[in-house]
Structure 1
Amino acid sequence: MNYWKSNGAPAEKLLVGFATYGHTFLLASSNTAVGAPASGPGAAGPFTRQSGFWAYYEICNFLKLGATQVWDAPQEVPYAFHQETWVGYDNIKSFQAKIQWLKKSGFGGAMVWSLDLDDFSGTFCGQGKYPLINTIKSGLGTGASCTSRPDPLPPVTPTGGGGSTGSGFCAGKANGMYPDTTNKNNFYNCTQGNTYPMHCAAGLVFDESCKCCNWA
């Protein structure tokens, strides 16, 4: 991010990536610090099933096994190890640090990879549904600073209609996402009184708890 910014890219056009996953390794010695030698990727997670890669909710299960958690102060991120397995990842604390850096640097916002790798059910980490993504949401805010940018991207509309200016569903409502009570697959994006009908992908419904599309 700093490279692009220092080479002339407008900071407000750059989005900071936030990872809801971690990378795992098999330790090759008793050394457990950052940079310790490894013999290969860690075992595949029970759900993501990819060697060297765990979703955040799988990492939470690993921590429950009694893994030793360490905070890497220079990078402001955690890592953990148990027996021969080592994992580097992000958590709520590191997300909060990155959000503060993002805002201080004047970057345009955040992107996440990916929705389904966070604790979407809220049953693995004991931090509620989507703890990492909701940390971004609360850290960046949902008020005017995040929704008042000019020339918003055109919405995806389920019925072919466009946004309405100062009238319709969003007239008089605060900026934000609102459910369509007639169709769980649809929702409204209200921006400065303008109504933008939106829809979730097939098989998903709008979930008010996270203001996002979720499994039914």
Structure 2
Amino acid sequence: QNPSDTAIGAPTSGPGPAGPYTKQTGVLAYYKVTLANFSLSALFSYCKFLDSGATQAWDASQDVPSAYKGNKWVAYDNIKSFNIKADWLEKNNFGGAMVWALDLDDFTSTCCKERKYPLITALKNCLGLQKGDHVPPTQPSPPVTKGPCTTDVSGSRGSGVSDFCAGKASGICLDPTNKRIFYNCINGKTFVRSCDDGLIFDTSCSCCNWP
């Protein structure tokens, strides 16, 4: 609403214009921010947007960049912010990171002449995910005797109570006497579960269903 107020949280009259590739208002691709002033889209390049006189800013409280010019304001991620986020994940012992859409990264290296997929590459490098890092186990898993189990299903959870699942494959097994009861077999251990009142376990969907 006020082009002179470029702070995060400033009032806005609505989303920014749609990018030519995302076709969605308020959303750009990285190769577009690199061409426009949006975060991850492409109208012209973010670099071109900056070259056209846009101002780049950095929010220290969230460790993310933004850029603005006239009545346009764009928040996005760059290699620096990706590295900071990945470093935080590692320091806090998280198992990994999720990227919402790979195709919004600069997959053609047109953005400021960076390498292809600059953001994904930065994330992989910071997390130490180099090609070929995954090493399959040298010892095969011990064979498990097949049993009358289906796939997993949600339900009330209990604790291991019997040897019903001994020798059976991991999965869901029906109680032979009560249609509300089923057993979650995990590595030979038995976990008793039950459907809510009025429901029975339905093998066609592996779920609790109306009878």
TM-score range, shorter chain: 0.5 to 0.7
Distance 1:29 1:83, change over 3 A: closer
Instruction: Note the alpha carbon deviations across 1:117-170, whole angstroms, 9 max, x for none.
Output: 0000001232110000000111111369x63597xxxxxxxxxxxxxxxxxxxx
Identity between Structure 1 and Structure 2 (%): 55
Structure 2: tracts of 5 or more residues without a match: 37-45, 138-211
Partner of 1:56: 30
Asked if 2 retains the 8 angstrom alpha-carbon contact of 1:28 and 1:39, the reply is no
Asked if 2 retains the 8 angstrom alpha-carbon contact of 1:102 and 1:109, the reply is yes
Counterpart check, 1:33 vs 2:2: no
Residue 65 of structure 2, aligned match among 63, 78, 87: 78
Instruction: Note the alpha carbon deviations across 1:97-122, whole angstroms, 9 max, x for none.
Output: 00110000000011111111000000
Q: In the TM superposition, what is the alpha-carbon distance from 1:44 to its structure 2 partner?
A: 0.5
Partner of 1:88: 75
Using CA pairs below 8 Å that are at least 6 residues apart, which structure has the higher relative contact order?
1
Counterpart Cα distance in 1 of 2:136 and 2:70: 49
Asked if 2 retains the 8 angstrom alpha-carbon contact of 1:119 and 1:125, the reply is no
Counterpart Cα distance in 1 of 2:95 and 2:136: 10
Secondary structure, counterpart of 1:40 in structure 2:
coil
Partner of 1:166: none
Larger Rg: 2
Counterpart Cα distance in 1 of 2:55 and 2:74: 10
Structure 1: tracts of 5 or more residues without a match: 1-26, 151-216
Q: What amino acid does structure 2 have at the position aligned with 1:69?
A: Q
Q: In the TM superposition, what is the alpha-carbon distance from 1:28 to its structure 2 partner?
A: 3.7
More helix by share: 1
Counterpart Cα distance in 2 of 1:28 and 1:149: 57
Q: What amino acid does structure 1 have at the position aligned with 2:93?
A: G
Q: What amino acid does structure 1 have at the position aligned with 2:19?
A: G
Asked if 2 retains the 8 angstrom alpha-carbon contact of 1:44 and 1:52, the reply is yes
More strand by share: 1
Asked if 1 retains the 8 angstrom alpha-carbon contact of 2:56 and 2:67, the reply is yes
Q: In the TM superposition, what is the alpha-carbon distance from 1:37 to its structure 2 partner?
A: 1.0
Secondary structure, counterpart of 1:80 in structure 2:
strand
Secondary structure, counterpart of 2:98 in structure 1:
strand
Task: Compute the TM-score of the two structures, normalised by the length of structure 2.
Answer: 0.54
Counterpart Cα distance in 1 of 2:4 and 2:97: 37
Counterpart check, 1:140 vs 2:127: yes
Residue-pair matches, total: 125
Q: In the TM superposition, what is the alpha-carbon distance from 1:90 to its structure 2 partner?
A: 0.7
Partner of 1:108: 95
Counterpart Cα distance in 2 of 1:108 and 1:149: 18
Counterpart check, 1:131 vs 2:105: no
Asked if 1 retains the 8 angstrom alpha-carbon contact of 2:3 and 2:70, the reply is no
